[in-house]
Amino acid sequence: MATITLTCDSSTIQKMQKHYQANLLNSAPYTVFVAKTANARISAYQSGKVVFQGPHAEKEAAKWGNEIASKSHSTLPEGFDTWSVIGSDEVGNGSYFGPLVVAAAYVEKSKIPELQALGVKDSKMLNDEKMKRIAPKIKRIIPYQLLIVSPQKYNAVQPHYNATTMKSVLHNQALALLEEKIQPAQPQAILIDQFATKERFLKDTKNEVRHPQTPIYTITKGEQYHIAVAAASILARVTFLEQLEQLGDSIQEVLPSGAGANVDEVAAHIINQYGIDTLARLAKMHFANTEKAIKLQKKS
Ligand code: MN
């Protein structure tokens, strides 16, 4: 009888539990769940170990192989944070108003201390004001590439692209352009702040003309693993905010970021004052906010 042990994160274990819902047994001490299928008995432990035992344990465990391979946490090589790395991140994907911005930033290892001194570390810990102050300094220290997809452009492209594919193509382009820009420098790696698995990214971009030549890693919370991702994240965020401000200035309004109820109200006001075509120059129209704004505007 074969025994296979996998180490999984809690989200994978949750997924497994759901998958084996119809096969659950009473759970044993220290387990999250125990299940039994025709292939094997599956015991998922609180430690993250999942043990498959039975005549076809291997077959049952293999079902989860891809799931686990696609979780790239802890797959970065030892000492990765000290390498010369191109990082990339995007901002604006969840905001109704404003563009989608993708940034790539190259941090050669000798520049790491300088960026650290600026306070570029975990970019998620910085507020917008602080980011606005340090972005120009980052730009003076390291090479970077920004891609800005205006709402107008976004609305033209969006119906033909899946949202993830759009991001993959943009990251790919920013990375390839930056690689060209920094030649003959040889980064040791690319780290993409993960929005999809690496397999998905490669699939999405296989027909693209340009491809980065540097080994690619993807990881969630990438800014914690290399300062290049933190730098890219700050540059993308600040560029997004600048663009949002400019778009607002063009109609003397302040455009909020995000996709909450306040956004619906501003959008309804814009439809009232300037018409829906103006809104389409400022906002990502496929968001549910458009419908809500139209309803609000009719009521007023
Ligand atoms: Mn990100």
Render pLDDT for 109-158 as a digit per residue (tens, 0 to 9): 999 999 999 999 877 789 999 999 999 999 999 999 999 999 999 999 99
Evaluate if residue 204 carries a pLDDT over 90. yes
Residue 81 carries which side chain, given as an amino acid letter? D
Spatial distance between the Cα atoms of 177 and 182, rounded to a whole number of angstroms: 9
Alpha carbon of 92 to ligand 1 centroid (Å):
10
Spatial distance between the Cα atoms of 125 and 150, rounded to a whole number of angstroms: 27
User: Residue 54 — φ and ψ, nearest 5°?
Assistant: 145, 180
Residue 70 binned pLDDT confidence (cut-offs 50, 70, 90): low
Alpha carbon of 28 to ligand 1 centroid (Å):
39
At residue 67, the 3 state secondary structure works out as helix
Spatial distance between the Cα atoms of 257 and 96, rounded to a whole number of angstroms: 7
Alpha carbon of 247 to ligand 1 centroid (Å):
23
Which one, of 289, 221, 281, lies nearest residue 99 by Cα? 281
Question: How much is the pLDDT for 282?
Answer: 98
Alpha carbon of 272 to ligand 1 centroid (Å):
34
Alpha carbon of 193 to ligand 1 centroid (Å):
5
92: left (phi over 0), alpha (psi -120 to 50) or beta: left
Alpha carbon of 261 to ligand 1 centroid (Å):
24
Question: How much is the pLDDT for 46?
Answer: 86
Question: How much is the pLDDT for 68?
Answer: 63
User: Residue 93 — φ and ψ, nearest 5°?
Assistant: -65, -30
Residue 6 binned pLDDT confidence (cut-offs 50, 70, 90): confident
Alpha carbon of 180 to ligand 1 centroid (Å):
23
* Pairing verdict, β 216-219 and 189-193: parallel
Residue 73 binned pLDDT confidence (cut-offs 50, 70, 90): very low
